[in-house]
Amino acid sequence: MKSLPSQILLAAVLLMTACFAQTPAPAPVAPVANPSTTSPTFTINASAFSISAGGSTTPATDIGGTFVVTPKYILRSDNLLIPGFNYSGNFGGLMRTIAPSFLSKTNLNPSSFQLYVEASLGEGRISSTSYNHTALNGMAGGGANYSPGGNSKFTLNILEARYAYLDLGPHSKNFFILSSGLQLGW
């Protein structure tokens, strides 16, 4: 068996080294992002629900916004409008995001989902020709958001479940609210 001359062997080693040197190093694998860290700084949101009290059911809306303070804590504003009861409520609260770690065992992208709990207090007001009333109201609960792009610029609030103490004057005061809505962030 003939041996290769040392120059050819050296040239082959240098050529292989040059080929490997031009191959980019693989990007480091980042851990699964907590969806709360991909939240935009500000969001505006709107959701719909209904309230049953005094023998009738009326549609209601919740228009609000959020401001990200830290990756896990978010300030929240909710403005409830319940026209059937002449009610408007302005709430300020705090959200705490929860990483959906159980999704890492599924085919779903955990960075597209956000779970949270929230609590808020505010002033509720009923204004009609025969009755005017203002009182301290509160809500607490949690929910789940889904962002198709994973960047939370457009988010679907899949479900939000809250216990609410809403002083609707002569009507019931304790409500369980289920709502769904949209969020836009920047």
* Prediction pTM value: 0.74
Which residue has 């050819």 as its token pair? 8
Of the two residues 78 and 170, the one the predictor is more confident about is: 78
With a cut of 90, say whether residue 25 has pLDDT above it: no
Fill in the DSSP letter of residue 148: T
Contact criterion met (CB below 8 Å) for 163 and 142: no
Taking the C-alpha atoms of residue 81 and residue 7, their distance in angstroms, rounded to an integer, is 84
With a cut of 90, say whether residue 46 has pLDDT above it: yes
CATH of domain 35-185: 2.40.160.20
Q: What is the pLDDT of residues 49-95, one digit of tens each?
A: 999 887 889 999 999 999 999 989 999 999 999 998 899 999 999 99
What pLDDT does 122 receive?
A: 97
CA distance readout (Å), 137 to 72, 84, 122, 124, 166: 25, 18, 5, 6, 5
49 three-state secondary structure: strand
DSSP characters over 63-118: EEEEEESSSSEEEEEEEEEEGGGTEEEEEEEEEEEE--GGGGGSSS-GGGEEEEEE
With a cut of 60, say whether residue 40 has pLDDT above it: yes
Query: Residue 109: is it exposed, middle or buried by C-beta count within 10 angstroms (0-12/13-18/19+)?
Result: middle
What pLDDT does 116 receive?
A: 96
Fill in the DSSP letter of residue 41: S
Q: What is the pLDDT of residues 99-156, one digit of tens each?
A: 888 887 888 888 889 899 999 999 999 988 888 889 999 999 999 999 887 777 889 9
- The neighbour count for residue 49, using CB atoms within 10 Å, is 19
122 three-state secondary structure: strand
Fill in the DSSP letter of residue 55: T
